[in-house]
């Protein structure tokens, strides 16, 4: 038992007052000369024991009143261990200190970052733990892997070093999961009396009703839990919530469009603020749009990577109270060019007489400094879907008469895996067969089934205002650029069939003809990771004159970029999420090494060979796992691949945006969430103010005092009656 106001315990000495009064009363008596002494003595003898007992009880009651009063005022804190020690002089306990190292703990209030305060508090708590107890230090980002576990409290230096070695992470503290992780630690503690102290900043993010499950169990197991609040009441913050590419493909040398979502939760407007964009470690300054207080804006960015391969870049705002969420990273596998395979269903040796000449022409010009495209032309006599061929980023079927079912299956699989497919019908196209092969009920590729062909002449088409869309850049052109296009032949489609069924959401029309029925001109279906674009006219001038229009050049370039295999976003994770790199290689993968962010020491990692999978066309593989990604930044992974030499990949771990919401949770709400566990939530204004762990019992003492007051009055009246 310990006291929060220990000086007041001296007041319990006032319990001596009734004894003093009792003794004084024995000196202040009436003297009576008495004759029938014999009968008086006889009576006193008969009643002596009862009288003495009553007097003793009354005296004890009166002594207990001031003692209880000052005990209650001294605010005693009772813990099972404390009581054992008090009563029996012996219990030992396991003290677990859980330090919240989540991103929000980096918030610097008036008296410094909460995380630094948390370390001080943890150090002080462990320093004050009785030497015979055992201590464990764990962090919220890795609760089931303690920094130091079940160490005797007498090893103070070791414990202090462990606490000072704890670094802050950029993770989110989801308390139900954190408490479940700590539960494993608590179970493995030596002594059955367990006390858990959570040192946190009490931000609402992460606290929810699911913590009650663990709290109930701990209440049953009599685990003593206390929460020490080291957080600031301030919530002012400016954060980058996300950094996303607006294009499917990032090409080396070509500017790629990105979007940074920035939220201003500070009371001041951000006007003319600058951010630093670092691409390949080259910083450039970016001017941000004005962001008013409480506003979230999407700031456009243009990022160009000098070379292909694994690349990363970051955007960093000026430091604020919580600098950790002012920077975000993106790791991308930049391609040097896209492989476009054009399958010509009506080849010709004459210039612009074959079906794909008008498609190849727009793709012959690069994008910015990038070569951008590698165009490969096959005829429909070739096996354009052969697995022996390099998988293209986009496959274009132009007036291909009749693909085989095998080719259709292969295309279906490639599209699901991310390949783009563009289909242009023509006079040779067997529309019925296409419907059969590519509009199967279970796995359709076509957005709509073909219905018929129409050779009724009309002019023009209109781009649908869909965003994002592979053709959305065409909306920047004047509508007249499309209205003059003469059209002589189109394949009509059954829109109703396309937009029914469970895959209707994957289908949309991107452009429509100006015919009376406003037939779809370009339609899109999303299939797995890939996209299929159906053009309902020919790719040459046989059916229309669009291929000779400048807008067609732009349309094809944008469509190819929009439909091509997407650059993987798998290398960008949120801090705390594990990274797994599967290396497909026929050579042995060795020497895997991870360089953590900000110049950390490289760490060797095992490359675990994966079991052979006959269905995997990419051959044998090995897996490299990076478990600890709690710090935000770029993680560079390298490995040896036999004669191929050193290979490298880069990953980015970003601050968890949930931690940027700094709304506080009230201590009472935490207690309510943790019910029926009686959680003591204390505020750590200074390390010295920390009280001991346990349950305050002044309310119980006050109730006992009230009962004793009534009992004393009643007993005194009863004892002083004439008997």
Partner 1 sequence: MPPPRPYSDPDAVARISDLALRSRRLVEGAISGLHRSPFHGFNVEFAEYREYTPGEDLRRLDWRVFARSDRHYIKQYEEESNVRATFLVDASASMNYKGDRAALSKFDYASTLVVALSMLLTRQQDPVGLVLFDEKATTNVPPRATQAQVQLLAGMLQACRPGRKTELGGLLRSLGDQFRRRNMIVIVSDLLTDLDSLYQGLDRLRFGGHEVLLMQVLDRDELDLPFDGPTLFADMEGDEELFAEPRAFQRSYRAAMDDFLAEVRKASGSRGYDHVRFLTDEPLADALSRFLHARLESGRVDRRR
- The residues binding partner 1 (CB under 8 A) are 25-26, 28-44, 46-47, 51, 54-55, 719-723
| C-beta of residue 337 within 8 angstroms of C-beta of residue 372 | yes
CA distance linking residue 164 with residue 202, whole number of Å: 21
**Shortest reach from residue 58's CB to partner 1, in Å:** 11
**Shortest reach from residue 11's CB to partner 1, in Å:** 29
Closer of 28 and 282 to partner 1 (Cβ) = 28
**Shortest reach from residue 16's CB to partner 1, in Å:** 20
CA distance linking residue 36 with residue 329, whole number of Å: 106
Closer of 47 and 164 to partner 1 (Cβ) = 47
**Shortest reach from residue 713's CB to partner 1, in Å:** 17
Q: Is the dihedral of CA 422, 425, 429, 430 positive or negative?
A: positive
In terms of DSSP bridges, do strands 224-229 and 680-683 run parallel, antiparallel, or are they unpaired? parallel
Q: What is the DSSP letter of 346?
A: S
Instruction: Locate 324 and state its tokens.
Output: 């950790």
**Shortest reach from residue 135's CB to partner 1, in Å:** 58
**Shortest reach from residue 212's CB to partner 1, in Å:** 58
Backbone phi and psi for residue 586, each to the nearest 5 degrees, phi listed first: -85, -10
**Shortest reach from residue 711's CB to partner 1, in Å:** 19
CA distance linking residue 184 with residue 228, whole number of Å: 21
Alpha helix stretches (DSSP H) within 381-503 = 405-416, 431-438, 480-483, 495-498
**Shortest reach from residue 62's CB to partner 1, in Å:** 15
Closer of 37 and 209 to partner 1 (Cβ) = 37
DSSP 278-335: EETTEEEEEEPPPB-TT-EEEEEEEE--SSSEEEEEEEEEPP-SSGGGSEEEEEEEEB
Instruction: Locate 416 and state its tokens.
Output: 């699901």
Q: Is the dihedral of CA 662, 666, 672, 678 positive or negative?
A: positive
CA distance linking residue 598 with residue 630, whole number of Å: 13
**Shortest reach from residue 10's CB to partner 1, in Å:** 31
Angle in degrees, CA 394, 395, 396, rounded to 5: 120
**Shortest reach from residue 36's CB to partner 1, in Å:** 5
Closer of 25 and 480 to partner 1 (Cβ) = 25
Q: What is the DSSP letter of 53?
A: H
Neighbours of 35 (CB within 10 A): 8
Closer of 49 and 467 to partner 1 (Cβ) = 49
Q: Which helix (H) or strand (E) holds 51?
A: helix 37-73
Closer of 24 and 209 to partner 1 (Cβ) = 24
Spatial neighbors of 75 by CB under 8 A, at least 6 apart, are 3, 4, 5, 696, 698
Neighbours of 377 (CB within 10 A): 19
Closer of 49 and 282 to partner 1 (Cβ) = 49
Closer of 53 and 706 to partner 1 (Cβ) = 53
Closer of 37 and 131 to partner 1 (Cβ) = 37
Among 294, 255, 295, 261, smallest CA distance to 275 is for 261
CA distance linking residue 500 with residue 495, whole number of Å: 9
**Shortest reach from residue 28's CB to partner 1, in Å:** 7
Q: Is the dihedral of CA 349, 351, 352, 353 positive or negative?
A: negative
Q: Which helix (H) or strand (E) holds 395?
A: strand 394-398
In terms of DSSP bridges, do strands 603-604 and 590-595 run parallel, antiparallel, or are they unpaired? antiparallel
3-state secondary structure of 466: coil
Closer of 58 and 334 to partner 1 (Cβ) = 58
**Shortest reach from residue 52's CB to partner 1, in Å:** 10
Closer of 30 and 282 to partner 1 (Cβ) = 30
**Shortest reach from residue 693's CB to partner 1, in Å:** 49
**Which residue's entry shows tokens 């003492």?**
701
Closer of 47 and 296 to partner 1 (Cβ) = 47
Closer of 467 and 721 to partner 1 (Cβ) = 721
Closer of 36 and 90 to partner 1 (Cβ) = 36
**Shortest reach from residue 32's CB to partner 1, in Å:** 5
**Angle between the 16-27 and 37-73 helix axes, to the nearest 10 degrees?**
160
3-state secondary structure of 470: coil
**Shortest reach from residue 21's CB to partner 1, in Å:** 12
From residue 90, give the alpha-carbon distance in Å to each of 82, 83, 87, 564.
9, 9, 8, 72
| C-beta of residue 560 within 8 angstroms of C-beta of residue 340 | yes
Closer of 43 and 646 to partner 1 (Cβ) = 43
| C-beta of residue 418 within 8 angstroms of C-beta of residue 532 | no
């Amino acid at each position: 038992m310990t006291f929060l106001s220990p000086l007041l315990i001296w007041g319990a000495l006032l319990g001596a007052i009734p004894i003093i009064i009792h003794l004084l009363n024995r000196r202040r008596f009436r003297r009576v000369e008495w004759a029938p002494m014999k009968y008086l003595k006889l009576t006193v003898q008969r009643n002596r024991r009862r009288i003495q007992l009553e007097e003793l009880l009354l005296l004890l009651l009166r002594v207990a009143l001031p003692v209880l009063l000052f005990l209650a005022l001294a605010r005693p804190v009772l813990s099972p261990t404390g009581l054992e020690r008090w009563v029996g002089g012996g219990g030992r306990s396991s003290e677990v200190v859980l330090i919240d190292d989540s991103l929000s703990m980096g918030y610097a209030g008036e008296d410094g970052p909460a995380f630094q305060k948390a370390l001080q508090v943890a150090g002080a708590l462990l320093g004050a733990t009785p030497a015979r107890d055992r201590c464990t230090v764990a962090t919220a980002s890795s609760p089931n892997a303690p920094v130091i576990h079940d160490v005797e409290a007498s090893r103070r230096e070791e414990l202090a070093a462990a606490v000072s070695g704890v670094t802050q992470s950029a993770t989110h503290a989801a308390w139900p999961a954190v408490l479940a992780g700590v539960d494993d630690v608590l179970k493995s503690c030596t002594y059955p009396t367990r006390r858990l102290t959570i040192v946190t900043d009490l931000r609402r993010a992460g606290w929810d009703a699911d913590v009650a499950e663990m709290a109930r169990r701990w209440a049953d197991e009599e685990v003593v839990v206390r929460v020490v609040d080291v957080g600031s009441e301030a919530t002012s913050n400016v954060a980058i919530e996300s950094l996303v590419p607006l294009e499917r493909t990032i090409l080396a040398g070509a500017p790629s469009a990105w979007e940074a979502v920035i939220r201003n939760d500070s009371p001041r407007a951000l006007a003319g603020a600058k951010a630093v964009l670092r691409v390949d470690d080259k910083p450039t300054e970016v001017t941000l749009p004005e962001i008013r207080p409480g506003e979230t804006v999407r700031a456009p960015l243009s990022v160009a990577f000098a070379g292909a391969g694994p690349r990363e870049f970051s955007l960093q705002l000026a430091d604020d109270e919580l600098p950790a969420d002012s920077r975000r990273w993106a790791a991308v596998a930049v391609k040097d060019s896209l492989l476009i395979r054009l399958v010509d269903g009506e080849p010709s040796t004459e210039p612009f007489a074959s079906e794909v000449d008008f498609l190849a022409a727009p793709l012959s010009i690069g994008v910015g400094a990038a070569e951008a495209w590698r165009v490969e032309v096959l005829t429909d006599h070739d096996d354009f879907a052969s697995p022996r061929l390099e998988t293209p980023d986009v496959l274009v079927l132009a007036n291909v008469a009749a693909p085989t079912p095998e080719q259709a299956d292969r295309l279906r699989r490639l599209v699901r895996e991310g390949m783009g497919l563009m289909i242009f019908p023509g006079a040779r196209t067997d529309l019925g067969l296409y419907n059969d092969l590519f509009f199967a009920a279970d796995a359709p590729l076509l957005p709509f089934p073909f219905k018929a062909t129409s050779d009724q002449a009309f002019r023009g088409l209109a781009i649908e205002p869909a965003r994002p869309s592979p053709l959305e850049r065409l909306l920047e052109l004047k509508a007249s650029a499309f209205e003059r296009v003469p059209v002589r032949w189109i394949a009509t489609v059954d829109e109703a069939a396309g937009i029914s069924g469970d895959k209707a959401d994957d289908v949309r029309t991107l452009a429509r003809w100006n015919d009376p029925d406003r037939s779809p001109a370009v339609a899109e279906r999303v299939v797995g990771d890939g996209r299929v674009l159906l053009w309902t006219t020919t790719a040459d001038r046989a059916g229309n004159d669009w291929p000779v229009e400048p807008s067609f050049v732009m349309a094809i370039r944008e469509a190819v970029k929009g439909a091509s295999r997407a650059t993987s976003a798998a290398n960008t994770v949120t801090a705390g999420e594990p990274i797994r790199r599967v290396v497909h290689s026929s050579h042995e993968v060795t020497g895997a090494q991870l360089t953590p962010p900000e110049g950390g020491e490289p760490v060797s990692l095992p490359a675990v060979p994966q079991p052979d999978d006959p269905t995997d066309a990419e051959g044998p593989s090995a897996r490299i796992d990076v478990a600890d990604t709690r710090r935000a930044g770029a993680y560079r992974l390298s490995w040896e691949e036999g004669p191929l030499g050193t290979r490298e990949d880069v990953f980015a771990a970003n601050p968890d945006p949930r931690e940027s919401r700094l709304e506080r949770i009230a201590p009472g709400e935490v207690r309510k969430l943790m019910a029926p566990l009686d959680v003591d939530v204390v505020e750590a204004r200074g390390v010295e103010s920390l009280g001991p762990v346990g349950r305050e019992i002044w309310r119980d003492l006050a109730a006992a005092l009230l009962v004793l007051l009534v009992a004393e009055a009643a007993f005194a009246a009863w004892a002083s009656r004439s008997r």
